[in-house]
Amino acid sequence: MRRRRLGADLRQLREQNSLRLEEVAERLGVAPSTLSRIETGKAPTRTSYLAFMLDLYGVADPVRRRLLMDMAREGQRKGWWVAYDDVLPPGLGTYLGLEAEADGMLAFGAQVVPGLVRTADYARAVIAARRPDLAPRQVDRLLTIQMRRQDVLRGDDPIRLSLILDEAVLLRSIGPPTVMRRQFEHLLAQGRPPNVTIQVLRLNGTPRYVLTPSFGILTFAEPADDDVACAEGIRGNVLLEQRAPEVRAMRMTFDALSAAALSPSESAGLITDLAKACA
């Protein structure tokens, strides 16, 4: 998040000075792609580069310079997930940094229960099904990441989660009945706090006018921080989308899915029945 905020400020400053990205990159002595990654928050900013750019952009206010320098230093800090680089799928590290700073999340699950509300046994079964090539130790490390991610739902300032599950997710057996029952019971428990809403989209209910794979949208408390849409690939890699028109389209899709889904109370009733059927 610090990288995104700093990058957005630097891009705005460059444009205010009517400078092309290629011009600034040449003066910095870096490739345009490197500066582009800095401005999009995909790469950290060296303080030496930042000082040069602030001089170039005419930023003389010491308070603002110190604030931007602090953002650059914070953006260089490594998150807890870096210790798991050996098993992290592409894009997941960046996503985890965004998720940790998010204020809310809208999510639609079309195949499996999303990671934030999985039990450990269910999560292990999903990892094994998606990555049969992994050794048991690697599965354990990915499971640790999945469980630690769920910290964002707890604490004094938990994330707001609005989750829609396709009914097929609940009917698909990822493990034996005991694993599925515990997952259903976990969903019921997770849906009770005020910061979590869970709906189910019936297969034979209201006519469905929207067909879409799983996706999520992260929202942030700071007005200057744009929403980020994300989708999970076949092998757990994460694809991020930050362009405003595409993110708005995904939000409209989520709203349409929510309107067609059961209410939270009706959804809880359906999940309860499925849990009983697994007994």
More confident site: 105 or 221: 105
Q: Which CATH superfamily includes the segment(s) 2-75?
A: lambda repressor-like DNA-binding domains (1.10.260.40)
Chain length of the chain = 279
Percent of the chain with pLDDT strictly greater than 70: 97
Q: Is the pLDDT of residue 235 over 70?
A: no
The residue behind tokens 């800090």 is 77
Report how far residue 209's alpha carbon sits from residue 165's, in angstroms, rounded to the nearest whole number.
16
Average pLDDT, the chain: 89
Better-predicted residue by pLDDT, 51 or 77: 51
The C-alpha atoms of residue 254 and residue 199 are separated, in whole angstroms, by 12
pLDDT, one tens digit per residue, over 119-149 is 999 999 999 988 888 999 999 999 999 999 9
Is the pLDDT at 279 greater than 80? The verdict is no
Residue 202, C-beta contacts closer than 8 angstroms, at least 6 positions apart = 167, 261, 262, 270
Domain coordinates in residue numbering, the chain? 2-75, 80-277
CATH architecture of 80-277: 2-Layer Sandwich (3.30)
69 CB-near residues (< 8 Å, 6+ apart): 47, 50, 51
Report the Cα 188 to chain-centroid distance in Å.
Answer: 22
Higher per-residue confidence, 143 vs 93? 143
Beta pairing partners, 240: 230
Q: What is the pTM of this model?
A: 0.79
